[in-house]
Amino acid sequence: MTSTTIVLFAAFFGVTALIVGVVSLLRGNKESELEGRLQVLTGAASAHSATQSEASLLSQPLDNMPNLLEKLMSKFPNLGIYLKQSGLSMTPGKFVGLTAGAGLFGFGACSIAKLHFAISICAAITLGMLPFLYVFFIRKRRLAAFARMLPEALELVSRALRAGHSLAAGIHLVATEMKSPIADEFNRCYEEQNLGVPLEEALADMAERVPNMDLQFFVTAVILQRQTGGDLAEILDKIGRLVRERFKIWGAIAALTGEGRLSGIILLALPPALFGVIYRLNKDYVMALFTDPLGKKMLLAAVVMQILGAVVIRKIVNIKV
């Protein structure tokens, strides 16, 4: 094994570890002050810690014992939560293994094709990023679908309460009458309380699995109502109307910022596309960016400016409601 190959493997695994660390840090520090207060009220933190303390080897099947990679990835619990929020039944260890395999496949394919060493590195990093991008988009789509269905689910629970049913029966009604993903989460909550878990704790676990502010309001309202009393059906109706009005405002903002998002996509995709075209037409002309010292500096500056441009455009068009 040559020194170049050793450097490549070290760079690839270093980038993979950096990506995992960045994802874990982002997921661990992204909660706002309001979300933190709501979690304290719902008791999500205490429920989660109690669940972790009660876990033992006896609760795991003998044929499902964690291997070395699983033990290593257990130090990144936020990655596991991220995968659960995407709805994928995949452990963090298998996900990282898939990422490493995709990167090695990209490097091997480019090496067999006898492409330039820099292109092999770019292919390895790009293919290694594909699983992260897939999980990111799957998770985003699932959470967006959950948010769209939540107002209807709250109104369904409210009507069930007005008809004389219990809160657990209202949750079961959402699980049976609505579609995935909200039906899956409410059904899991209903099954947990059927198995003896307190309803407040089951709701807090659902709020932890689904990072949705409106769901946090629902869980907080339920827990406070069970402790102090009040008309829960009216509270759920108000939360449902609030969510619907927020979606109307968000739709108007999305229409106004559509031109900016399209411009950002075109500006960010144009340099790589142009690079590929020129590489196909005149390979020697493009290779100067990788062989000449000034070309390497220009290429690095271009990548940095692309990243800065993407961040600036996202800050402009990403207006939170």
* pTM for this predicted structure: 0.61
Out of 221, 243, 265, a domain closes at: 243
What confidence tens digit (pLDDT) does each residue in 51-88 have?
443 344 344 444 444 444 454 444 445 777 777 787 77
Checking if the pLDDT of 267 tops 50, the result is yes
- Does some domain include residue 38? no
Whats the size of the chain, residue-wise? 321
* CATH code of the domain covering residue 227: 1.20.81
Do 239 and 149 fall into the same domain? yes
Asked if residue 179 is part of any domain, the answer here is yes
Residues 48, 50, 54: CA angle, nearest 5 degrees? 120
Tell whether 204 is covered by a domain.
yes
| 222 domain-assigned | yes
Q: How many domains does the chain have?
A: 2
Answer whether residue 227 is part of any domain.
Answer: yes
Per-residue pLDDT for 157 more than 80? yes
Rounded percentage of the chain residues whose pLDDT exceeds 70: 76
Single-letter amino acid, residue 139: R
* Domain encompassing residue 269: 257-321
Q: Are residues 230 and 291 in the same domain?
A: no
pLDDT band at 289 (very low <50, low <70, confident <90, very high): confident
Any idea what the Cα angle at residue 120 is, between residues 70 and 136, rounded to 5°? 45
**Whether 206 and 286 share a structural domain:** no
Last residue of a domain, one of 243, 274, 296: 243
> Does residue 159 lie in a domain region?
yes
Quickly state the pLDDT bin for 41 (edges 50, 70, 90): low
pLDDT 10s digits, 108-155:
888 887 777 777 788 888 888 888 888 888 888 888 889 889 989 998
Residues 196 and 152 in one domain: yes
At which of 218, 243, 268 does a domain end? 243
Residue 59 sits at the vertex; the CA angle it makes with 88 and 91, to the nearest 5 degrees, is 20
* Dist. CA 70–CA 23, nearest whole Å: 17
Q: Are 66 and 74 in contact (CB under 8 A)?
A: yes
- What is the chain's mean pLDDT, rounded? 76
